[in-house]
């Protein structure tokens, strides 16, 4: 019964994440061959900052394959990298808070999420993007993280 419930929740959650227009799958590479189910792989996704026009963040992360991974029931490792770039002249839309979660994606069907936070160094006019993970029902998220920065014009 628990497996059926988990599968139903996974099937509901996955389309909601895929429907986000600010996210695009750029590509992936297989890292481990699996006889049954998807291979383990590294994926690269693009996230466009919804409040800063012309800034895109590229996040690479591991996805667990196998049978559990094929059904969205595996927990992906908390290892990732981020690179954000100005793809044109960055335009800040409105006033940005000092620290805000701007992107998030599930790393398992219910309890783990990879997040990207945007922070502002107002003294240097730089946006700092931090990728990190959360884990419910545990002692906390992962200490693994990665940062990148994008300079903006003073306003």
- What is the number of domains present in the chain? 1
User: What CA–CA distance (Å, rounded) separates 60 from 31?
Assistant: 13
Boundaries of domain holding 132: 2-151
Q: What is the mean pLDDT of the chain?
A: 80
Per-residue confidence (pLDDT) for residue 135, from 0 to 100: 66
Per-residue confidence (pLDDT) for residue 128, from 0 to 100: 98
**pLDDT tens, residue by residue, 81-110:** 999 999 999 999 999 999 999 988 765 555
Strand arrangement, sheet containing 126-135: 99-106, 112-121, 126-135, 146-151
User: What CA–CA distance (Å, rounded) separates 83 from 117?
Assistant: 13
Question: By C-alpha distance, which of 107, 126, 110 is closest to 118?
Answer: 126
Per-residue confidence (pLDDT) for residue 63, from 0 to 100: 83
């Amino acid at each position: 019964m628990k497996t059926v419930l988990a599968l139903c929740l996974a099937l509901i959650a996955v389309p909601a994440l895929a429907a986000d227009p600010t996210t695009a799958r750029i590509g992936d590479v297989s890292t481990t061959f699996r006889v049954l189910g998807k291979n383990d792989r590294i994926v690269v996704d693009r996230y466009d900052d919804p409040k800063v026009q012309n800034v895109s963040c590229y996040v690479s992360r591991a996805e667990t394959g196998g049978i559990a991974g094929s059904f969205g029931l595996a927990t992906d490792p908390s290892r990732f990298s981020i690179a954000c770039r100005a793809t044109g002249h960055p335009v800040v839309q409105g006033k940005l808070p000092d620290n805000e979660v701007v992107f998030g994606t599930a790393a398992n069907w219910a309890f783990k999420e990879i997040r990207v936070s945007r922070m502002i160094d107002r003294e240097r006019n730089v946006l700092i993007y931090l990728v990190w993970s959360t884990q419910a029902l545990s002692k906390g998220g992962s200490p693994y993280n990665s940062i990148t920065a994008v300079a903006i014009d003073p306003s």
